[in-house]
Chains A and B, each alone.
Chain A
Amino acid sequence: MIQISDIYKSFNVKDKKSRSRMRIEAVRGISLTVKPGEIYGLLGPNGAGKSTTLRMIAGLMLPDAGTIQVCGIDSAKEPERARSTIGYLSTDLSVYNRFTPRELLKLFGEFQGVDAAVAERRGLHLLDRLHMAEFADVKMEGFSGGQKQKVSIARALLHDPKVVIFDEPTTGLDVLTAKTVLDLLGIMKAEGRSVIVSTHVMPMVEAICDRVGIIFEGTLHGDASPREILDRWKVRTLDEVFFQLVADKERGVA
């Protein structure tokens, strides 16, 4: 279970033109809840604040204000305990290239407090689910982006987390690999995990998400099922919601 209540986050950035520092508000008062057995889709254009929100949930960043509870644990106060319940996948398609998937999963299992033998067994099971079993003992330096992403997914799920946070899990993947990832998310849901996914891919959201939240300029617009969102905005696709938000902004409405 994820419970986010009115979180804010801002960054100091350097304006290269004026050479002065300015404060950017990346997240502005976002609140949402992801229940067990639910997939929550976080949508939004680049720079909307999706990754920042997910990083705060994963305990990698602290919110300036507001609270985040993961399985009843305050991720700001007890980040290590909170992280032990989270499987986090970042946008990077990077892995430790010198290792084989088996070695990596065993090591990360130990990092998460899982016994090495158990981690190896679970890792191989996950690799099998992701159609990667035959590459378990191959050095990852020659892997494609999709193969690396699958190993990263296995790495994120190795400690059997109750909460799954995937930041743009299908970006850069071919259709078949993307489908494998989506199927796995479906299994995560069926197993009763709380899943939160950020993406640009609207058909993916419509296919697997129980609820969606659209982030635009750090603010959450709508927090409902894809159907309810479409009805509320009186549009046929989620893409059109984006266009309307941009148009509203240009008119000074949003």
Chain B
Amino acid sequence: MRGALLIVKKEFMELSKDRKTMFFTFVMPLVLFPLLFGMIGKLGKNDKAERTGRPSRVCVVDDSGALAGVLTGNPKEFQVVERPSGDLKQAIRDQKLEMSLEIEPQAADKQRRQETWSVKAVYDRSDESSALALDRLRKAVASRDKVVVQERLKAMGASTQLAVPTRIEPDDAGGTSRALGKALGSFLPYMVMMMMFAGAMQHGIYATAGEKERGTLLSLLSTSIPRSQIIIGKLLYVFSIGIIVAMINLLSMAFAVTRLVGSEAAAAGQGAQAMPGLGALASPGTLGLTFILMIPLGLFFANFIILAGIQAKNTVEAGTAIMPGMVVVIFLGVFSMAPGIEKMAFLPYVPVVNVSLAIRKLFSQQANYWEYTVALLMTIGLACLMTWLSTRMLRRESAIFKV
């Protein structure tokens, strides 16, 4: 094993000499995600503040005057404007106003007769400001209707509770952390797989096909280190890079998301409890079990990259050979995000996907330890098989001298 560790040392030494690669591999993700999420959060917040901070522009056709008080009595939320010339729907699409209301002419009479009258609201669902105008209208009308109903009930001498026979009081048994854990569990496997594979890919190509291309592989093979140890050393290096890159990216992303959602919750007045930290979303046990699963999965990916790299004549060929693997990883990652897949009985026995499933269940606090063990053992088996294949491949002269 000494030879393999020396190869790992050599690879990391080579990497440490390339400051640009070091920066883009290890530092960039730490800066990127907080910056990116911070920007998204700030833009979103500004946009929301801009939308909610001003009244919705509404034009009203209300000959009966049934709705006049609702709109004019609430100047912070509604600004009644003149009907624009031309097509009304087009004017809304052009954001000249947010909504147009047409109240039926007999509305006032119907209200007097205690009949239901209607308002036709024209809005643009795709525009958030327009959707907000409708939402505001619904709330304002609901609040007005509540007063009207209560007055009518009072006039009838009936209890105001007559209109509310049942009140539902929801109590979330799962809590915010479980809901967030479930959401996290659905996309975390995808992120883990993507980052481990993408993070290790270029380094794997550099260490295998790159050595052939640069003409340095022969000098390495002419030493007394056995070929199997050379390949295991390179494998350990690629695996370590994959794991390190994935961990850095995930931690950076977790930090950024926690801060983003936390500040959103604080802005919404929900306080710090609305967004628990990563520690509350997943217990140390969950994080530990997820990390254990990542080890054989990372080894499996590293093996695939090494195997393709050894077989290739140069880095371009290696990149082309590895790309389909990347597509498969993306596909499996996206598939693992699909709702309801945890109910598919055969999935725990499908390699790689079963790792996603196990992580997903761990985070949604529905861990199935039989499925977890199957996923772990299956991935370890695959990683071992691929290691055996890789070491055999480097023994083949056609692989070494394919230049």
Q: How large is the interface on A (under 10, 10 to 19, 20 to 34, 35 or more residues)?
A: 20 to 34
| Contact between B222 and A60, CB atoms less than 8 A apart | yes
Give min CB distance, B117 to chain A, whole Å. Answer: 80
B278 contacts A by Cβ under 8 Å: no
B84 contacts A by Cβ under 8 Å: no
Q: In the complex, which residues of chain A have a beta carbon less than 8 angstroms from the beta carbon of B10? A: 107, 111
Residue in B13, B215, B216, B397 whose beta carbon sits within 8 Å of that of A103 in the complex: B13
A210 contacts B by Cβ under 8 Å: no
Give min CB distance, B226 to chain A, whole Å. Answer: 5
Task: Convert A88-108 into 0s and 1s, putting 1 for each residue whose CB lies closer than 8 angstroms to a CB of B.
Answer: 101011111111000100011
Give the residues from 77 to 95 in chain A that come closer than 8 angstroms, CB to CB, to chain B.
80-81, 83-84, 86, 88, 90, 92-95
| Contact between A83 and B215, CB atoms less than 8 A apart | no
B85 contacts A by Cβ under 8 Å: no
A-B contacts besides A80-B224, A107-B6, 6 pairs, CB < 8 Å = A61-B401, A83-B224, A98-B14, A110-B6, A156-B222, A159-B224
Residue total for B at the interface (Cβ-Cβ under 8 A): 24
| Contact between A81 and B224, CB atoms less than 8 A apart | yes
| Contact between A152 and B219, CB atoms less than 8 A apart | yes
Task: Convert B1-43 into 0s and 1s, putting 1 for each residue whose CB lies closer than 8 angstroms to a CB of A.
Answer: 0010010011001100110000000000000000000000000
| Contact between B18 and A88, CB atoms less than 8 A apart | no
Task: A81 to B6: give the CA distance in the assembly, Å.
Answer: 18
| Contact between A98 and B18, CB atoms less than 8 A apart | yes
Identity of the chain B residue whose Cβ is nearest the Cβ of A106 in the assembled complex: B13
| Contact between B222 and A58, CB atoms less than 8 A apart | yes
Given contacts A96-B14, A107-B13, A110-B6, contact A61 B215 (CB under 8 A): no
A50 contacts B by Cβ under 8 Å: no
Closest 6 pairs between A and B when the two form their complex, measured CB to CB: A94-B215, A92-B215, A98-B17, A84-B224, A88-B222, A111-B223
A112 contacts B by Cβ under 8 Å: yes
Identity of the chain B residue whose Cβ is nearest the Cβ of A152 in the assembled complex: B219
| Contact between B13 and A155, CB atoms less than 8 A apart | no
Task: A80 to B2: give the CA distance in the assembly, Å.
Answer: 14
A113 contacts B by Cβ under 8 Å: yes
B221 contacts A by Cβ under 8 Å: yes
Q: In the complex, which residues of chain B have a beta carbon less than 8 angstroms from the beta carbon of A92? A: 215-216, 218-219
B121 contacts A by Cβ under 8 Å: no
B374 contacts A by Cβ under 8 Å: no
B132 contacts A by Cβ under 8 Å: no
Task: A61 to B226: give the CA distance in the assembly, Å.
Answer: 13
Give min CB distance, B25 to chain A, whole Å. Answer: 15
Task: Convert B367-382 into 0s and 1s, putting 1 for each residue whose CB lies closer than 8 angstroms to a CB of A.
Answer: 0000000000000000
| Contact between A62 and B397, CB atoms less than 8 A apart | yes
Residue in A61, A96, A98, A113 whose beta carbon sits within 8 Å of that of B224 in the complex: A113
Identity of the chain B residue whose Cβ is nearest the Cβ of A93 in the assembled complex: B215
Residue in B9, B14, B225, B397 whose beta carbon sits within 8 Å of that of A80 in the complex: B225
Given contacts A94-B215, A99-B17, contact A60 B221 (CB under 8 A): yes
B214 contacts A by Cβ under 8 Å: yes
Identity of the chain B residue whose Cβ is nearest the Cβ of A60 in the assembled complex: B221
B400 contacts A by Cβ under 8 Å: yes
